[in-house]
Amino acid sequence: MSIMTHQNLAERLRAAYREGAVPPLRDGLEPTDAAGAYAVQAINTRFWRDAGRVVVGRKVGLTARAVQAQLGVDQPDFGVLFADMRIDDGGVLLASAALQPKAEAEIAFVLGKDLDKTDAIASDVAAAVAQAVPAIEIVDSRIADWKITFADTVADNGSSAFFVLGEGGKSLDGLDLYTCGMVLEVNGAVASLGAGAACLGHPLEAAAWLARTLATAGEPLRAGDIVLTGALGPMVALTPGDVIEAKIGGLGTVSFRYEDDRA
């Protein structure tokens, strides 16, 4: 089995967006090779930025302990959010834009201050957050049949695809993001349930992990950045025609439609 370079793997993942999902990246990345996987992610981030895409924040993934155990790791991961990944609240995701999408409800933070401390904790994040917003992340994988390892998902920009933010973000004052409940509905039927505590113990803890990780790497979170803090409950696969709505206690609702535009 030939060993692929990080550049080769990055090109393979970019091609998958156009040509379809590819096999797992076993010929270039060991399943838990975090350094190699983030190197691949960084190559594609630079490529897309050079092509004109604008970074607007980051997403945290693998915040559920059970999922970490499944992939043989003891930490979350992160990916990059680009401006063209955002779908308006109540908007439409076209099937031609995704490969094998799934949706999960999350709490998003919009930062009002920089977060550049390498030892940031939850209280530092809380002081930097301008508003909390209900969100839906549409995850997708360029790896066939979602047969991912930790390295696969990290290299693939955290299996990211699109995101939707609700309107009317709220201050953290008076919000209980630990016990707040989440209901994700598909076509009006409950499809996923969860709570703030499912996200690495607390969404602020997930964001603090991200802040520390990025500051240590010399790429700290900045004022204005959007942070998707991780799933509050199980993700759900999408079928064309679905209407997806998330309701999060204290924050409100957010929704989108998944429509088939393929011949």
The per-residue pLDDT for range 72-107, each reduced to its tens digit, is 777 899 999 999 999 999 999 999 999 999 999 999
> How high is the pLDDT of residue 3?
61
- Amino acid at site 189: A
Smallest CA-to-CA distance from 158 within 65, 59, 231, 82 is with 59
In the predicted structure, residue 234 carries a pLDDT above the cut 70: yes
Q: What is the pTM of this model?
A: 0.95
Contact 106, 232 (CB under 8 A): yes
In angstroms, the CA 165 to CA 154 distance is: 23
Q: Which of 15-19, 72-76, 111-115, 251-255 has the lowest mean pLDDT?
A: 72-76
Residue 263 pLDDT: 67
pLDDT for 75 equals 86
pLDDT tens for residues 15-68?
A: 999 999 999 999 999 999 999 999 999 999 999 999 999 999 999 999 887 777
pLDDT for position 1: 32
Residue 27 and residue 8: Cα distance in Å, rounded? 11
Please report, for the chain, the start and end positions of each structural domain, with discontinuous segments joined by +.
6-259
Mean pLDDT, the chain, integer: 95
Q: How far is 226 from 131, CA to CA, in rounded Å?
A: 10
Question: β-strand 77-82 against 86-87: which pairing, if any?
Answer: unpaired
Phi, psi of 84 (to 5 degrees): -80, 5
- Position 68 scores a pLDDT of 75
Arithmetic mean of pLDDT, 102-124: 97
pLDDT of residue 2: 47
Instruction: With a cut of 80, say whether residue 159 has pLDDT above it.
Output: yes
Q: What angle do CA 200, 138, 229 make, to 5 degrees?
A: 25
Task: Give the percent of the chain with pLDDT over 70.
Answer: 98
DSSP assignments along 153-211, one per residue:
HHHTGGG--EEEE-SS-B-STT--TTT-EEEEEETTEEEEEEEGGGTTTSHHHHHHHHH
> Greatest CA span in the chain, whole angstroms?
56
Which of 162-166, 246-250, 259-263 comes out lowest in average pLDDT?
259-263
Tell me the CATH architecture of domain 6-259.
Answer: Alpha-Beta Complex (3.90)
pLDDT tier, 7 (very low <50, low <70, confident <90, very high otherwise): very high
Contact predicate 149/136, CB 8 Å: no
| Cβ neighbours of residue 207 closer than 8 Å, sequence gap 6 or more | 60, 109, 122, 125, 129, 227, 229
Calculate what percentage of the chain has a pLDDT beyond 90: 92
